[in-house]
Amino acid sequence: MNLAILGAGMIVHDFLTVAGDVPQLELSAIFGTENDLEKMNHLKQQYKIQTVYTELGACLADPSVDTVYVALPNHLHYSFAKEAILAGKHVICEKPFTLQTRELVELAELAAAHKVLLIEAITNQYLANYQGIKAQLETLGELKVIECNYSQYSSRYDLFKEGTVLPAFNPKMGGGALMDINIYNIHFVVGLLGKPKSVRYFANVEQGIDTSGMLFLDYEQTKVVCIGAKDSTATIRSTIQGTKGSIIVNGPTNMLASYDVEPVHGAKSHQDRSVHGHRMFEEFVRFAQAIHENDQAFVKERLAHSKLVMEVVEKALADAQIVLG
């Protein structure tokens, strides 16, 4: 996988710290604006990236690039992913995939037509601890309640209150608590239970954007609440409760650092199946493998999951009367 990174923000800096550990991954290029040039040249030297681009067309025309990682602000995911697909590149797109389901459907159809792979970068789906949790669900009996709380006070919230609206709180740029951090909770739950029967979103809305909120998902037998907050903080953890026991996930649902299994009868156990210290390692190992093998079945499965998540997101935003983009 010869990768071009689109973007030079925090997520890119984070990814680059682990990129060198991923087999079959070459850092072919990085693209950003002229304002990012000094930063990108520094990253080029630090992480041995081959080429720096400030023109997208030139980056996408680079014959050494076969895959593009879209790590730009949320509202740019659709348009930049589309350009990369049309240029014949495989695309790995940061979460949230798009702002609307129809955009994701269009991208998937374009990718199929151009015979390239399209995948969403969503860490928890690939973590060994997540696979362990899925495997142990049946030991909990009938699942009754799931609560996911990812609440983390944003350093940008004070500026937002003062009138400076940065991308994290900008509805035109796809910001807000649901799209930024609660979406990890949605991926976590949908990956376990699939499509919910109903979706409700009770949000704290300021200046047209949700700064925090509680998302309720009804799975008939199982009731789910996903809490995401950028205007307040609390212990970050998730619980899965069943008639025969519970699982407590320690830390946010994008990392799944470890979990505890607490059966109604029997000894409690602490579980940690992590294979690497960085949450992005396992997903990019799998992406590199899929691209090397042209694994269309894997991509089809992952796109179906991403589409379900986007449908939940759309219903939640509509319920809270929040308009993005």
Whether omega before 167 lies within 30 degrees of 0, making that bond cis, reads no
- Which parts of the chain sit beneath pLDDT 50? none
Query: What is the distance in angstroms between the CA of the first residue and the CA of the last residue of the chain?
Result: 32
d(CA 109, CA 114): 9
Tally of domains within the chain: 2
Over the stretch 29-79, which tens digit does the pLDDT of each residue have? 999 999 999 999 999 999 999 999 999 999 999 999 999 999 999 999 999
Q: Note the pLDDT tens digit of each residue in 171-185.
A: 999 999 999 999 999
Provide the domain limits for residue 173: 123-279+306-318
At residue 286, the pLDDT reads 98
CB atoms within 10 A of CB 154: 20
**Separation CA 48–CA 227 (nearest Å):** 40
pLDDT at 15: 98
Q: Is residue 292 part of a domain?
A: no
The verdict on 96 and 34 lying in the same domain is yes
Q: What are phi and psi of 26, to 5 degrees?
A: -115, 135
| Closest CA relative to residue 30, chosen from 74, 69, 85 | 69
* CA gap 175, 209 in Å, rounded: 7
Is 258 domain-assigned?
yes
Structure tokens at 76: 């740019």
Integer Cα distance of 229 and 232 in angstroms: 6
Give the separation between CA 180 and CA 177, rounded to whole angstroms: 5
Tally Cβ neighbours within 10 Å of residue 238.
25
What's the pLDDT score for residue 323?
Answer: 98
Q: Could you tell me if residue 145 is inside a domain? A: yes
**Count of CB atoms within 10 A of residue 193's CB?**
16
Judge if 108 and 24 occupy the same domain: yes
Instruction: Establish if 299 belongs to a structural domain.
Output: no
